Structure 1
């Protein structure tokens, strides 16, 4: 196994399509979970290092506006601790109780740091955030074996047409056995926090070189097979953005904020490890983008998958050759 490198020594790969349909550099938002310092202590440390103005939303949720690397927020990752976000009725009744409970729960409930979208060619800047978190004693996956601390990427889709949406999901499901192997969650983390893979029958449908539906059919097929946020590539925010009414007809009460991004969920944020970087996980996502951008190779990989008779771990070895080519 390769030795761990310092975060600043690992390059963030660029996707094959760097600009969106408007000619602007595509963006990506990042979410990191950790425990240790409070949300307030964390946002104060970020402000000290990066500048900006702090806005308190409640005793356990803070925003940092105008920092050197953009806006970000830090909050305890539990909706019950933020009553103003959970509905007006609760917001009138629970603030003091929620604040008290939040202080008690801060030793058990992780904090979540969320960045505003940053240009994909500036992802390296976010390593400063990891350095700040380590300096104030933030802990991650390796410090809590019974909890999966998440790392999430929210990359902007390059085009909002049906072919692009389908190509990305096709690429992801074909590469997912390899992606999950590389992430290598142990059994405990898989049980506690890793999202479920896409259903096998749906993967086979996606893999077909003949499956290139229009947006309405794609959304209908997706919702029929995946009426849930519990996927490692969660498309519901994107589909909600593309056709809110169609999504809400199936999931009227699901918490979904529509946006033109994918939501790629990873179960491993090793925040306190000085050798940990987000770059390897991001670079594996770029492998998804590269396959999605190559229609001929994508169709060939799909056809090969449909004739493959081995287990996922064996397919991971096959598809890895495509990634490494």
Structure 2
């Protein structure tokens, strides 16, 4: 079944149609099975890199990558391989054992990760058949186990890289951050993990008080001051590194950050095993941010309402602007 992907107000950059990348994590299937399934869906071939890394080149979309969540898998696999290795085992043999353990771990504990290429907004529905095929294969999503903290990452290209545009999106997200968590029904297991930490109240207040002509340098400096980590639900470090790598590398020399002209949005669950679930559900919630970012009067009104909320109301979850965000979402879906 094809699902509708909302078209944002700004659909193009100076270089053409905006693109969006998706990354999704799931379990219960092996890396080779996932790679073969994607290749079959798009009538393509798999390219073996290692036991835990495959590529699939799709002519009209780009290159898909299927791999494991290495941050978790490598540590666990190395521990098991070292325990089983003989003192005289050669290095190559030990490395083979590591790969074997990683592959075995992936089926039930470590998520397989599909990294989609940046895809034109007008082509996003092409991903639906891939999701359907992976669901039929037996992929397990976030809610299948209490230990699964699997997510969907959305990497939307910005219409342009001006400070004004970055600020508009940042303010829109800050206003809607708590609503997004509620709307995505972010799994508790994921919420307690360090990877999708919220922006702090103090940083949000800082962002909402910026002048419209705030400089790019101020945006970067303040972001690094309040968020010196990749572990944010909306990670701006790849974007800032794409624009100017020096301050990012200087402040965070040990962080692995792939520069790209996109946001890195991590809040959605991966509910791939659920019938009729598609990436459009995640994208269409993000589209509320697109709408607010490109409607200054709406953004200013929502920011004012956010700032006028009392500490008690916030603590009790009385977020009056949630109803307005729900209405924006519904209006976009029904337009």
Scaled by the length of structure 1, the TM-score of the pair is 0.88
Q: Residue 209 and residue 60 in structure 1: after superposition, are their counterparts in 2 closer, same or farther (change >3 A)?
A: closer
Residue 323 of structure 2: aligned partner: 320
Q: Residue 322 and residue 192 in structure 1: after superposition, are their counterparts in 2 closer, same or farther (change >3 A)?
A: closer
What secondary structure does 2:270 align onto?
coil
Q: Residue 222 and residue 153 in structure 1: after superposition, are their counterparts in 2 closer, same or farther (change >3 A)?
A: same
Q: Are 2:103 and 1:103 equivalent residues in the alignment?
A: yes
In the alignment, which of 21, 40, 47 is matched to residue 32 of structure 2?
40
Residue 227 of structure 2: aligned partner: 226
Tell me, in whole angstroms, the C-alpha distance in 2 between the residues paired with 1:118 and 1:149. Answer: 22
Residue 162 of structure 1: aligned partner: 163
Q: Residue 58 and residue 93 in structure 1: after superposition, are their counterparts in 2 closer, same or farther (change >3 A)?
A: same
What secondary structure does 2:13 align onto?
coil
- Say whether the 8 Å CA contact 1:148–1:194 is kept in structure 2: no
Q: Structure 2 unaligned runs (5+)?
A: 76-90, 329-335
Residues 1-325 of structure 1 aligned to structure 2 (within 5 Å): 8=1, 10-22=3-15, 24-66=16-58, 69-79=61-71, 95-106=95-106, 107-192=108-193, 195-208=196-209, 210=211, 212-309=213-310, 310-311=313-314, 314=317, 316-322=319-325, 324-325=327-328
Scaled by the length of structure 2, the TM-score of the pair is 0.86
Tell me, in whole angstroms, the C-alpha distance in 2 between the residues paired with 1:245 and 1:209. Answer: 24
Cα shift at 1:210:
2.7
CA deviations on 1:199-228 (whole Å, 9 max, x unpaired) are 110100111263642111110000000001
Q: Structure 1 unaligned runs (5+)?
A: 1-7, 84-90
- Say whether the 8 Å CA contact 1:151–1:268 is kept in structure 2: yes
Tell me, in whole angstroms, the C-alpha distance in 2 between the residues paired with 1:288 and 1:280. Answer: 14
Tell me, in whole angstroms, the C-alpha distance in 1 between the residues paired with 2:67 and 2:280. Answer: 24
CA deviations on 1:291-315 (whole Å, 9 max, x unpaired) are 1111222223222222221216746
Tell me, in whole angstroms, the C-alpha distance in 2 between the residues paired with 1:268 and 1:198. Answer: 19
- Say whether the 8 Å CA contact 2:6–2:284 is kept in structure 1: yes
Segment drifting more, 299-308 vs 283-292 = 299-308
Between the two proteins, the alignment pairs up a number of residues equal to: 310
Cα shift at 1:166:
0.9
